[in-house]
Structure formats: structure tokens, C-alpha cells
């Protein structure tokens, strides 16, 4: 079983739509969680960290369910510029700096 | 004021050749990484160095040898290149303190094509 599993999509949504991505992780001892964004032919960049109580950054909301080992990302009022691949990332805390990346979920927002 | 830079950006070479990719970060971070992203877009860690000390060494062929001359640089040398080495190689850096994991900043990637 992979450390981090995501639905690869693609998700194709119109501008203004709300879209949700899910991710599961296999190691219950995992300590910290992130969503990264990767534009086509570019490097991954941190979108947001995910906290136990859930957190919001503008149109983006991240949730963590430790009991189910499940992470989600909700994007409201989608913009064309949100088109990218969203990577779910987990730190087990067992090795210095070691992050585990999901395969990514591809999102295309159309006008 | 580039944070993490890599050279070259593109590398096209023949099978069997030896090549190097250089990475530099000016963020003052203590940890640097090499990742490989294959055609299926899966990002896999290869190596990491913390203050010039090798920390992570995943199951990577020994044709791949990282070298960290100082904590701002992490280079990747590849011997006897094979077709399967074709991928995008990303360098990254982060500040890892007290067991926490801070944001990893990635370089722009080196697109390696082996013919």
C-alpha cells in the first residue's frame, strides 16, 4: 500500500465551481500534513499546511481526520488560475525532513 | 534573488554518458534534497543531506551519486546513463529544526532526456 493515495482525476470544473480533493495516508504515526500545488512543467510549491482543527486560506479549506487517516482540500469559487496538480504530502516524523508525496490530483478549471 | 536554482534546465544525452546536475540554495537552509519525477508525475525522494551529512538514501542505483560541498550546494552525478533515467529531477531545500519539518522549496527542475 502506498504511503499517500490520491484520486488522480482529472477533475474538470467550470469557473465558480466548488471542488474537493481527498487523500488517505497509511501510517497512523504521521505528524504533519500539507497540500502542494504543481503547475504544468513547473516545480511543486506549498499551498497550505493542514492542521488538526482544519484551516482556511481564502478560498481554500483543508481538513484532517486522524482517526480515518484522511485529508481533504476544498476549493470554492474556482478560478482559471487554480488549474494545476494538487499534491497531498505527509511527514511521518521518522526521518529528518522526509516527506511522502501523493501522485497528485489534476484540476482543470474551464471558462 | 532566486531561492533554489538548478543547472542545467534541460539535458539531452546519449545512453552510457556521465552527467551532473548542480543545485544551489540561498535561503540559508540546512537540508537539501533530490527528487525524481517520472513520466507518470510521481515525485520520489532520492537523497537528502543535512549540514553536508547524508540523511536519506532511497533505493537508487549506485550510478547516482550526490555530493554536498557545503550546505548551500547539492550536486547529483549520474554515471552510465540509461533510458529509464529520463525524468525531471528536482532539487529542494528546507530548514529542519527540532524534529519539525518546514516548507520545502523546490528548484525549477532539470529535464533529463536519455536517447
What tens digit of pLDDT does each residue of A13-61 get? 999 999 999 999 999 888 889 999 999 999 999 999 998 888 999 999 9
Give B110's pLDDT tier (boundaries 50, 70, 90).
Answer: very high
pLDDT digits (tens, 9 = 90+) for B32-60: 999 999 988 889 999 999 888 888 888 88
Look at residue B98 in the predicted model and tell me its pLDDT. 57
The pairing of strands B10-13 and B31-37 is unpaired
What confidence score (pLDDT) does residue B93 get? Answer: 94
- The better pLDDT of the pair B27, B41 is held by B27
The C-alpha atoms of residue A18 and residue B61 are separated, in whole angstroms, by 43
**Surface of B (45-104) touching A: CB under 8 A:** 45, 48, 50, 55-56, 90, 94, 96, 99-101, 103-104
Written as one string, the DSSP assignment of B39-77 is TT--EEEEEEEETTEEEEE-S--TTEEEEEEETTEEEEE
Q: Does A87 touch chain B (CB under 8 A)?
A: yes
The reply to whether residue B104 touches residue A97, judged by beta carbons under 8 angstroms, is: yes
Query: What torsion do the CA atoms of B76, A87, A35, A47 make, to the nearest 10 degrees?
Result: 70
Q: Are A70 and A9 in contact (CB under 8 A)?
A: no
Nearest to A98 among B56, B90, B107 (CB): B56
Residue length of chain B = 115
B71 within 8 A of B20, measured Cβ to Cβ: no
CA distance A29 to A2: 15
> How many Cβ atoms sit within 10 Å of the Cβ of residue A61?
18
Within 10 angstroms of residue A2's Cβ, the number of other Cβ atoms is 12
Interchain CB distance below 8 Å, B45 and A99: yes
- Does B31 contact A at CB distance below 8 Å? yes
Which of A31, A43, A97 has its CB closest to that of B55?
Answer: A97
Region of residue B108 (left: phi > 0; alpha: psi -120 to 50; beta: else): alpha
Measured distance CA(B55)–CA(B44) in Å, rounded: 15
Side-chain half-sphere CA neighbours of B57 within 13 A: 11
Amino acid at each position: 500500500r502506498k504511503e499517500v493515495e490520491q484520486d488522480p482525476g482529472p477533475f474538470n470544473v467550470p469557473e465558480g465551481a466548488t471542488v474537493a480533493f481527498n487523500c488517505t495516508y497509511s501510517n497512523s504515526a504521521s505528524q504533519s500534513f500539507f497540500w502542494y500545488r504543481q503547475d504544468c512543467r513547473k516545480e511543486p510549491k506549498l499551498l497550505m499546511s493542514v492542521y488538526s482543527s482544519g484551516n482556511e486560506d481564502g478560498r481554500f479549506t483543508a481538513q484532517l481526520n486522524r482517526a480515518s487517516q484522511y485529508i481533504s482540500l476544498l476549493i470554492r469559487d474556482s478560478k482559471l488560475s487554480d488549474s494545476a496538480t494538487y499534491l497531498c504530502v505527509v511527514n511521518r516524523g521518522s526521518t529528518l525532513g522526509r516527506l511522502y508525496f501523493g501522485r497528485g490530483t489534476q484540476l482543470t478549471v474551464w471558462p | 534573488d532566486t531561492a533554489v536554482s538548478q543547472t542545467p534546465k534541460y539535458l539531452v544525452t546519449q545512453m552510457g554518458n556521465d552527467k551532473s546536475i548542480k543545485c544551489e540554495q540561498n535561503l540559508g537552509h540546512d537540508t537539501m534534497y533530490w527528487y525524481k519525477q517520472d513520466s507518470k508525475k510521481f515525485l520520489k525522494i532520492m537523497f537528502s543531506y543535512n549540514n553536508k551529512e547524508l540523511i536519506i538514501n532511497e533505493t537508487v542505483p549506485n550510478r547516482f551519486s550526490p555530493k554536498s560541498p557545503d550546505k548551500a550546494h547539492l550536486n547529483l552525478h549520474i554515471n552510465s546513463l540509461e533510458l529509464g533515467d529520463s525524468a525531471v529531477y528536482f532539487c529542494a531545500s528546507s530548514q529542519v529544526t527540532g524534529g519539525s519539518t518546514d516548507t520545502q522549496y523546490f528548484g525549477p527542475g532539470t529535464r533529463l532526456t536519455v536517447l
